[in-house]
Structures are given as C-alpha cells and as structure tokens.
Structure 1
Amino acid sequence: MRFQLGWSLVWATLILAGCASSRPAATTSGRSAVDYNSYNEDLSSTRPVYNAPLTNVTPVTRSAAPSATAPAPTATRKNEIRKPNPPIEALHVNRELDLILDTIAIKNRTVRYAPGFRIQVYVGNQRQDADAVKLLIYQNFPELSPYLSYNQPTYRLKVGDFMRRIDAERYYASIRRLISSAQLQADKVDIRRSLLIK
C-alpha cells in the first residue's frame, strides 16, 4: 500500500513539474518581467524580392488636383507617378478569357437538370388519393411544382425542386405537419424551377 502511495506521489510531482511555466515569475504589478519591445530579428533573408519591370511607363507631372473622371495614377517610386498602359499581351489574354467564359455560359444554359432534393408526399395505388394530396399541397404551397409518376400499380407524388438540402428541410417540416408520411429524397431537379422557390 505504501509502495503504491509513494509511486503516486512521484507521478504527481512529475506531472506538476512538467506543467510548470518556463517563463519568469510575474512581478508585483502583475506584469511579466520579459521586455517584448526589445525583440529584434532580421527577416530580410526570408522575404521574397519582387522586381517588377517598369515597361510602358509614362512619367506624369503632378497637378494641383486630379480630375474626377481620370483614374488615379499609381506611384512607382518615391517621386515618380505613372499611368499604367496595358500591355498588348494582357488585351490578348482578356479576349481569349472572354471567349472561354462565353462558351461556358452557353454550355451552362443547355444544362436543365441537376442533382437536388424533392419531397415525396404520396405513395399508393389510388389515383384519387394522389390527386387529393396534390390539391392539398397546391393550396398550401403554390410555389412547389408537383411531379406525379406512375409505375404500375404505384402512384408517386413528389413536390419541389430544391438545389440545397437546407431549403428542402425547411419545406419538409411544414409539409410533414400536413402529411405525416412525407419523405425527403434526393432526386434530379429542374434548375429553372428551383430558382423560383423562395
């Protein structure tokens, strides 16, 4: 028993010694005795050096007040002001970039469906029941588009085109109060209709 107590004291002492601070003790005013203002380290060897070429620079004399329509000149050196002249290569790159962005925009307009979420509100064999649920949803949520599918002998009614799950869950909570058997499901959604849902 004494042996275990002795080892426990040894371990407790080692743990407390390991947790002790290596900083000097605080002075009576509550501040540390370390002077951080005297810290000095030369970082010039690790800093990157950028030597920008000064091509296409037109020196401009300073005027009393810049005009409201002219762009603000940029300072290059202490007393020199320049107006940037865009290089021809930059204009060429911008044209190519605009062409690529236009191509992507045209391709994106052809995409009609994307992965998203819909809420399944009815699964059953009765068309009348599916139509009744469809009418109930339309009366309470006119912004949600209904999708009725039939795979013999089952009718499935899904509503909504949600791109984000958080939007679907917000409607799901409201629909679940009306129809307790509603389920949130991943599905392909119509992108244009999903933008109409608030």
Structure 2
Amino acid sequence: MKLIFTLIICFFSIALSAQKRGVVTVIKDPLVDSLIDRRIALSKKAAPAPATAVSRRDGTIVSMMGYRVQVFYGSDRREVFNEQSRFKTIYPKVNTYITYKEPNYYLRVGDFRTRLEAQRMMNELRSAFATLFIFREKINAPGLD
C-alpha cells in the first residue's frame, strides 16, 4: 500500500513539473514610456538642494534639516500649553513648536543644526522634564553668530 501511494505521489509530482513556461507579451501605448521619462526628468530637476544659506539680509527664514528636542507629549491641550509656558520661563530665547497628530499634542523645542547641539540641550533639560527625545525634522535655520 505504501508503495502504491509513493508511486502515485511521484507520478503527480512529475506531471506538475512537466508544464511549459508561458510567454508574456506586453502591449502598451508608446506614450507611457515618454511619460515615465518625463516624470524622471522632472523629479531630478525638482530635487531640492540642501540648504546651505542660513538667513537672508531681508530677514526671511530659511528652512533646512536639523534637530529638535521633544519636551512633552499628551492628549490634553491645556497640559501642552502649560508645559510650553513652563519651558518659556526657563528658556525664553529658545523657540517652541506645538504640533498635533491625532490623538496627541507634541511640544518640541529648539532649532539645532547638529545632533550634538540637541544633545546638549537635552542634558540641560533632563532635570526639569521627564521624557525627552531628539527628532530630525525640518527646522528654521538659526543665524550664524
């Protein structure tokens, strides 16, 4: 019985592997290739160069990638504003940013060019605030002083 069962399994496995491979023919409009090429050219042209200039003489703000320290997050709006005012009493010159991503509000502070600057601020804040994180995001480039 085992021998018959084994022979049947072998027969079906040979039959399954004996199938031919098919050939796929793609029929498409030639405009598709031209649209893809145009999209690639536009994305190369529109790719933003890294911002090296910091601020202009006319006072406009230049944005660039940098770091911010997250000081507080929570779902209660009043708590976030209370933490912001508490932070502003300690560091009045440091910019604060509140963002809302459902269901939480996030309080992030500073515009730091390097992670080291953000780490220094985080070490200063460790005694006053419980949960601190460093995030890389688009910042308002601080002036070169």
- Normalised TM-score (structure 1): 0.41
Matching of residue 121 in structure 1 with residue 71 in structure 2: yes
Matches within 5 A, 1:39-58: none
How far did residue 111 of structure 1 move? 7.3
Deviation readout 1:117-171 (Å, 9 max, x if unpaired): 0001111100111011101110111111110011222101100000122221111
Taking the aligned partners of 2:115 and 2:127, their CA distance within structure 1 comes to 18
User: Hey, what does 1:156 align to over in structure 2?
Assistant: 106
Taking the aligned partners of 1:157 and 1:178, their CA distance within structure 2 comes to 14
* Number of equivalences: 89
* Divergent runs of 4+, >3 A: 107-111
Please say which structure displays the higher CA radius of gyration. Answer: 1
How far did residue 195 of structure 1 move? 2.4
User: Hey, what does 1:133 align to over in structure 2?
Assistant: 83
Identity %: 27
SS where residue 180 of structure 1 aligns? coil
Higher relative CO (Cα under 8 Å, sequence separation at least 6) belongs to: 2
Deviation readout 1:83-108 (Å, 9 max, x if unpaired): xxxxxxxxxxxxxxxxxxxxxxxx94
Taking the aligned partners of 1:112 and 1:159, their CA distance within structure 2 comes to 17
Matching of residue 195 in structure 1 with residue 143 in structure 2: yes
Matching of residue 165 in structure 1 with residue 115 in structure 2: yes
Taking the aligned partners of 1:175 and 1:133, their CA distance within structure 2 comes to 13
Taking the aligned partners of 2:120 and 2:61, their CA distance within structure 1 comes to 26
Return 5+ residue gaps in structure 1 as ranges: 1-106
- Normalised TM-score (structure 2): 0.55
Superposition RMSD in Å? 2.2
